[in-house]
Structure 1
């Protein structure tokens, strides 16, 4: 299996406001601080994998506004192949206003912008390069038809696909994603897709099993402070605990987990080991503010693991 990772997905500009609390309706509050950064689930996962030494190809669309060129330069500087990251004439870049509370918990809105213009034809134009990848990552900040097209295209060629159904939408047709190797929701997304509560680990396992019963091959549920859960049709669920740290900002933690998972899985093909690697990387990421700028490089991540005792 090739260790190269393909990401077909979104990019955003993160507009992060650090707050003491959310205002009530009609209320105006002063906030302690604000920052801007590069984000978007597709780009975040690509950046996490690349910072860990992964060879990453991104297929994405940016606006032809003041953010677009900066987004492409940022990705290129990190070492991501941006051959298929292009500006859409007349479109605005996607943005994500993020509100972070003192606990590190966050609330996020997204405006998809140019990401809505990433179409199946764009995937076909990148097909020769995507065919060299050993794993393809997808999310739902791009059109559903594009997501379905990539899954069908990859399945026909035997290329594993990980679909992160974020943000989850009731319109997602589960019957059209069965070609994916992994479905990786968080608990909220799992609840939306299954129609069942998924607030506890036991509920999450039960909800994931309903998706497996419908033909989903492997469900990886990210559980926040509870770690992650792997549910398949074979045997009991497997739990990977979270790494305890003091959170500063949980924005992008799920993307850190999945990008690190992809980098490890593409290199080694071991699902549980990749989940443990992802849990470590996500824990490290939430000790700093921001999303992509909180993602450690190889040396910094090695130092984090060493501080934990070589984990």
Structure 2
């Protein structure tokens, strides 16, 4: 599998209760590797996907660190070092008093500067699926990159999956524009909010069903409410979430996506793959950061 998307540095700040405006709020703060694309790749490798490659763009400031972290997670990184922009940084504010719900402050940096010139059709050699992080669609060069990558994948018969990535950025981009840019994608993996935003429907089941008229397979991630699988205009499966005591919900959707895609690639059906995704999401929220924990040597 080849994943193309964002590689960022996450600053995770866990606090309890409302932020105190104009003064200090006590928090436990950690610096961890992140990025939706990178997280998905790490979870897919963790779940047994035979080979996971990642194409991303980073700054020279942390390129070596990110390459080491990805390699240690079983991912084969191809990181383009941007000469003009630093690695993207996301400040994740995690409210421990609100079921570890998180709010993001995002400086995309080099991550959204992945451009058509960074693509080579040789990247698809031996690849059986291309997965794209939706964050790429939120910059002009990223949109051009997606068009080139999808066209190359379609020409080779390689299926393409896409995670819309951010309801906030999606609202700015525009629904019609997103759906046009996603032409040629086989599998769409939206969150509840993204699915509802993309359709204008308040019920995620109705939203997933509607989206599945454009995409061959839609898997809507509902967090603690599990997931929905939809095909051909109808929901065909509802998958329950696994119980978990959340510490940090950052990257839970990425964990779902990585595990889901790994299961598909190893022969599972969509419903069984979604169950794997729910299990991975439940594990992801029990520790800080959006990547799977690695065993100490």
Tell me, yes or no, whether TM beats 0.5.
Answer: yes
Q: Distance in 1 between matches of 2:215 and 2:47?
A: 29
**Where does 1:95-174 land on structure 2 (aligned, <5 Å)?**
95-102=89-96, 103-123=99-119, 125=120, 127-142=121-136, 143-168=142-167, 169-170=170-171, 171=173, 172-174=177-179
Q: Distance in 1 between matches of 2:100 and 2:248?
A: 4
Q: Distance in 2 between matches of 1:196 and 1:93?
A: 36
Q: 1:175 matched to which residue of 2? A: 180
1:112 touches 1:141 (CA, 8 Å); kept in 2?
Answer: no
Q: 2:32 matched to which residue of 1? A: 37
**Where does 1:244-255 land on structure 2 (aligned, <5 Å)?**
244-255=243-254
Are 2:51 and 1:46 equivalent residues in the alignment? no
| Of 178, 195, 202, the match for 2:200 | 195
Are 2:27 and 1:22 equivalent residues in the alignment? no
Deviations 1:164-213 (A, max 9, x none): 0012414343133232111111011122222332xxxxx01112233233
Q: 1:93 matched to which residue of 2? A: 87
Aligned length: 282
1:51 touches 1:296 (CA, 8 Å); kept in 2?
Answer: no
Q: Which has the higher strand share?
A: 2
**Where does 1:266-281 land on structure 2 (aligned, <5 Å)?**
266-281=265-280
In structure 2, stretches of 5+ residues that fail to align are: 137-141
In structure 1, stretches of 5+ residues that fail to align are: 198-202, 301-311
CA RMSD after TM alignment: 1.9
Q: 1:309 matched to which residue of 2? A: none
**Where does 1:68-83 land on structure 2 (aligned, <5 Å)?**
68-82=63-77
1:7 touches 1:136 (CA, 8 Å); kept in 2?
Answer: yes
Are 2:208 and 1:208 equivalent residues in the alignment? yes
Return 11-20 or 105-114, whichever deviates more: 105-114
User: What TM-score do the two structures reach when normalised by structure 2?
Assistant: 0.89
Q: Give the secondary-structure state (helix, strand or coil) at the position aligned to 1:10.
A: coil
Q: 2:6 matched to which residue of 1? A: 10
User: What TM-score do the two structures reach when normalised by structure 1?
Assistant: 0.85
2:40 touches 2:254 (CA, 8 Å); kept in 1?
Answer: yes
